Structure 1
Amino acid sequence: MTGGKTVGSETGLYDLFVVGGGVNGAGIARDAAGRGLSVLLCEKDDLAQGTSSRSGKLVHGGLRYLEYYEFRLVREALIEREVLLSSAPHIIWPMRFVLPHNPADRPAWLVRLGLFLYDHLGGRKRLPGTRSLDLRTAPEGAPIKRDYRKAFEYSDCWVDDARLVVLNALDAQKKGARVLTRTACSAIRRIDGLWHVEMTDLRTGVRSEVRARSVVNTAGPWVNDIIGRVAGLNSSRSVRLVKGSHIVVPKFWEGRQAYLVQNPDKRVIFINPYQNDLALIGTTDIPYEGRPEDVSADSNEIAYLLKSVNRYFKQQLTEDDIVHSFSGVRPLYDDNAENPSAVTRDYIFEVDAANGQAPLLSVFGGKITTFRKLSEHALERLKPFFPQMGAAWTAKAHLPGGDMANADFEQFLGDLRARYRWLTADLAKHYARLYGTRTHDLIGNATSLDDLGAVFSPLFREREARFLMENEWAMTADDLLERRTKHGLHMTPAERQAFTGWLERQQVAA
């Protein structure tokens, strides 16, 4: 073999070898490990480095999917919205969305009907329902142009998408799964009723082999590449790559509410509060044919997003207001829809099993909100191959850090501040939001701010960086500043440079 040193095959035999460390891969690994299966998850980059950290960061039913008659998907997503809210109240929380009505785009009766279905299709229990607003008198109307007089307000939830992935991987590991990052699945072949899997450590070039009774392909944009190039098989299904871009600007309105605006092309754009003093605006739907690794927001998309916001808001945004942008490739199941916005957000599975042995289950499509249910359905498809598999269990389970009394974040935050009175209010909230009850593990025996070590920025201390490196597979500055946290959005170039230098010194010392 070329390109790296080969080491001997490991003696371990796994029930499931999962390719891909996005939300679906981490969710399946967690569910399977909790059912008693032996699991190895292999990710070629960092956890959530691809699509799963570049979403609109919402746990939602998908209001606009009702127009495409995706009733099954919307119902499932609405039910999952409350399941996930209970499982991880530190990284998922309710948000109210204000939808200014523009009769030129959709008639009021159609919007009301959609919101009525949205309120009742999923058995809503915890979230408040829809209400109408007079934008001329309601405080939510203050930033909106006077041309728009009426709005509807409804509920959905916010999620820290990258942390959702990491918490699933953590729980999988806690239940016995092995999680490898920066490790590519370079070849899989069926031999004598088992999969022989070759992996390459992309940091060292070292190759290793394991065996597995089944392979789960959750490679997202690379799902067909795993089937064809890596496994040497054929598939009648494929993914359709659709690019979605977002921009981040300073928050330009008062209040905690988000906004959802309509466009003449029937797309909707979210304008959401982000990181306290910022706003996240997106997303676009653009067919994409390049390498998923090379995706970025282009000038046309940025102009489209700015024009969408400026159509409704008094404050007119320009490119100079943009402090950050990102783009992700959504690997949607190709259902041959002409309009990218109409391509289904539902998911399907393909199982390739030779003589009833060594199945390869490939996942096409899906969305963050339905990852847990997708994981259950995936394991149901594999149950004939693993009759000893335990029952589904994740619906009532907490993700790491989410085991708060009554899923009450505010109560937990109050208790945290009472216990660690020396923490600043902002730092206590930051820790509570990212780590929940695991904050106690992070703080450890610290009894003062000085005990938290070097200060990289007002909310970023050395102890947090070490905690992430030791417990959450964080290795690079981007892992720490963009995915495990969002500290990078609030750091000056000098602060980022100083932190990167500190990180390099730790790696040399190790």
Structure 2
Amino acid sequence: MSEPFDLLIIGGGINGVGIARDASGRKLSVLLVEQDDLAAHTSSASTKLIHGGLRYLEYYEFRLVREALMERERLLGIAPHIIWPLEFVLPQGPDSRSSWRIRAGLFLYDHLAPRSRLPASRAVHFGPHPAVKVLKPAYTQGFTYADCWVEDSRLVALNALDAAERGAKILTRTQLLSAHPENQLWAAQLLDKNTGQQETVHARALINAAGPWVGSVLSQELGIKTQKTVRKVKGSHIIVPRLYEGDYAFILQNPDRRIIFTIPYEYAYTLIGTTDIPYDGDPAEVHITAEETAYLCESVSRYFQKPVEPDDVVRSYAGVRPLYDDHAANASAVTRDYVLDMEGGGETPPLLSVFGGKITTYRRLAEHALSLLQPALGHPKDQSWTANAPLPGGDIPAGDFSGFVRTLSEEYAFLPEHLAYRLARAYGTRTRKILGNARQMIDLGQDFGGGLTQAEVDYLVTQEWARQPEDILWRRSKMALHVPEDTVQKLETYLHSLEGTEKIRQGGATTLS
């Protein structure tokens, strides 16, 4: 039998890769398996915000909001390329919560945790604010506050990349068939979905970070019964042509007490979401409904001068949030906090299951998970390290992103301005690994359309586990919104030509050997 891993992690969403990164930095041997692509489901279907969760204050989730606000500052510091500040405008109208209630909530939001990178909230009259051109005349005042935007699926990829560079083995499109205790270890049967080959691996501890599948992994693959359950809640979003100029978002209050965000998205679009609907189906088959689309359009049209119609939608997506079931009657009220369920120890190998959580607190969740596991693995001391360690590409001098873009544009003067900016946003300082010694666009190889070059595709294949056009066009980027229709076919042809080559073998090994 080969040497057992310290940790076998099931799930390549944000919580799984966050734990893999933290554990690898603590010199633990890690194997992570994901049945599809990294961030293939929930972690690429978020509202793409790093935020404290202003509305969670209504449910007295003070600890969660404080932790999330603290993480907002930390994550902005370690990933300034894929995370950046965003102003939110909160109009007051007949369907709004009372002004005193909003003021109190924003005061708490400003002061629950130390804040050094973002401005404080303030009351505003929309006369001098550009929002006056967007909102109906009835909305003349409100509030502004700051949170952060995140490229959610890139956050997953960068955590996985950092984990791999610290020694973790990341296997995508690899399914856990079963696992059982054997000689104080977990013996796990894995299926390579590309080749159909099966392999048995052993690990000293198993982490179930399967997101919406956490319950089914316990009951089916592991044969374990538990009282803790996941409340599956569907959140859907729509993408429409840009509704207004300006780099600010709206947070809109509905008569049903839910809130909807409108967020500048990919230069030419506006992202609108989200819904909160109980969901009992297969998380892999989740889709937005016509009723959800109509609800989101009506929510925005209630506020905006120019109405939004379902026919305006150019793209939609939906995901299933695996929330810890606290038996709240309303899906919107279900806690976004996480619960870590630890079993085993002694003669039985440890099993840690992750219930719930939100993308903002993934790093802290990983620290908590490792603090529970390390004593069982013989490492009782706290070895936390991720709070200040930049993610790949995030080591931008002084966190000055604008300055970095200027420097990059000077180094690679042949790059169109928009392409230099996009690459810097996606890859930060790792952009130089893509561009190398190029001195003209032709040096970057085939152009797949929209500025997506062979050099960038090769990087995503060799470094970030991209294997299919959707991996590249939707999860490692949102280039699908900007490329011509024939790009998918060009990518399919090119990726097929790489099968079995050294580039594929470099890019996150698909087998254990």
Per the TM alignment, residue 354 of structure 1 is displaced from its structure 2 partner at its CA by: 5.0
Contact 2:209–2:354 at 8 Å: present in 1 too? yes
Q: How many residue pairs end up in the alignment?
A: 501
Instruction: Quote the Cα distance in structure 1 between the aligned partners of 2:256 and 2:95.
Output: 11
Alignment-derived partner of residue 485 in structure 2: 493
Aligned residue type for 2:334: V
Alignment-derived partner of residue 406 in structure 1: 398
Contact 1:426–1:459 at 8 Å: present in 2 too? no
Q: Which moved more, 1:361-370 or 1:117-126?
A: 117-126
Q: Which moved more, 1:418-427 or 1:387-396?
A: 387-396
Contact 1:351–1:360 at 8 Å: present in 2 too? yes
Instruction: Quote the Cα distance in structure 2 between the aligned partners of 1:337 and 1:388.
Output: 38
Three-state SS of the structure 1 residue aligned to 2:180 is: strand
Alignment-derived partner of residue 467 in structure 2: 475
Q: Deviations over 1:432-491 (max 9, x none)?
A: 000000011111121110111111113211111111011110000100110011111112
After TM superposition, the structure 1 = structure 2 runs for residues 127-142 of structure 1, keeping only pairs within 5 Å, are 127-142=118-133
Contact 2:450–2:484 at 8 Å: present in 1 too? no
Contact 2:450–2:479 at 8 Å: present in 1 too? no
Alignment-derived partner of residue 380 in structure 1: 371
Aligned residue type for 2:465: W
Percentage identity across aligned positions? 50
Aligned residue type for 2:119: P
Alignment-derived partner of residue 449 in structure 1: 441
Per the TM alignment, residue 71 of structure 1 is displaced from its structure 2 partner at its CA by: 0.2
RMSD: 1.3
Q: Deviations over 1:372-400 (max 9, x none)?
A: 00000011111220233661000110000
Alignment-derived partner of residue 6 in structure 1: none
Instruction: Quote the Cα distance in structure 2 between the aligned partners of 1:38 and 1:354.
Output: 19
Instruction: Quote the Cα distance in structure 1 between the aligned partners of 2:309 and 2:38.
Output: 33
Would you say 1:290 and 2:281 are equivalent positions? Answer: yes
Alignment-derived partner of residue 509 in structure 2: none
Correspondent of 2:431 among 428, 439, 450: 439
Would you say 1:112 and 2:103 are equivalent positions? Answer: yes
Instruction: Quote the Cα distance in structure 1 between the aligned partners of 2:244 and 2:156.
Output: 31
Q: Which moved more, 1:128-137 or 1:53-62?
A: 128-137
Alignment-derived partner of residue 216 in structure 2: 225
Unaligned runs of 5+ in 2: 505-513
Structure 1 residues 508, 353: closer, same or farther in 2, change over 3 A?
Answer: closer
Alignment-derived partner of residue 147 in structure 1: 138
Aligned residue type for 2:74: V
Instruction: Quote the Cα distance in structure 1 between the aligned partners of 2:28 and 2:132.
Output: 53
Per the TM alignment, residue 123 of structure 1 is displaced from its structure 2 partner at its CA by: 1.1
Would you say 1:249 and 2:233 are equivalent positions? Answer: no
Instruction: Quote the Cα distance in structure 1 between the aligned partners of 2:383 and 2:485.
Output: 50
Instruction: Quote the Cα distance in structure 2 between the aligned partners of 1:465 and 1:399.
Output: 20
After TM superposition, the structure 1 = structure 2 runs for residues 416-435 of structure 1, keeping only pairs within 5 Å, are 416-435=408-427
Alignment-derived partner of residue 49 in structure 1: 40
Contact 2:17–2:163 at 8 Å: present in 1 too? yes
After TM superposition, the structure 1 = structure 2 runs for residues 73-222 of structure 1, keeping only pairs within 5 Å, are 73-222=64-213
Contact 1:357–1:385 at 8 Å: present in 2 too? no
Alignment-derived partner of residue 511 in structure 2: none
Three-state SS of the structure 2 residue aligned to 1:385 is: coil
Three-state SS of the structure 2 residue aligned to 1:432 is: helix
Q: Deviations over 1:89-143 (max 9, x none)?
A: 0000000000101243310100111111111111111101112221233222211
Three-state SS of the structure 1 residue aligned to 2:472 is: helix
Per the TM alignment, residue 16 of structure 1 is displaced from its structure 2 partner at its CA by: 0.5
Per the TM alignment, residue 401 of structure 1 is displaced from its structure 2 partner at its CA by: 0.3
Instruction: Quote the Cα distance in structure 2 between the aligned partners of 1:143 and 1:210.
Output: 57
Contact 1:260–1:271 at 8 Å: present in 2 too? yes
Would you say 1:39 and 2:30 are equivalent positions? Answer: yes
Contact 2:39–2:156 at 8 Å: present in 1 too? yes
The TM-score normalised by the length of structure 1 is 0.96
Instruction: Quote the Cα distance in structure 2 between the aligned partners of 1:448 and 1:427.
Output: 13
Per the TM alignment, residue 356 of structure 1 is displaced from its structure 2 partner at its CA by: 5.3
Alignment-derived partner of residue 253 in structure 2: 262
Per the TM alignment, residue 17 of structure 1 is displaced from its structure 2 partner at its CA by: 0.4
Instruction: Quote the Cα distance in structure 2 between the aligned partners of 1:495 and 1:183.
Output: 27
Contact 1:246–1:325 at 8 Å: present in 2 too? yes
Instruction: Quote the Cα distance in structure 1 between the aligned partners of 2:169 and 2:3.
Output: 11
Aligned residue type for 1:464: E
Aligned residue type for 1:109: W
Instruction: Quote the Cα distance in structure 2 between the aligned partners of 1:273 and 1:240.
Output: 30
Instruction: Quote the Cα distance in structure 2 between the aligned partners of 1:271 and 1:54.
Output: 15
Contact 2:89–2:250 at 8 Å: present in 1 too? yes
Three-state SS of the structure 2 residue aligned to 1:430 is: helix
Alignment-derived partner of residue 71 in structure 1: 62
Q: Deviations over 1:56-114 (max 9, x none)?
A: 00000000000000000000000000100000000000000001012433101001111
Per the TM alignment, residue 508 of structure 1 is displaced from its structure 2 partner at its CA by: 8.0
Q: Deviations over 1:11-65 (max 9, x none)?
A: 1310000000000000000000101111000100000001000000000000000
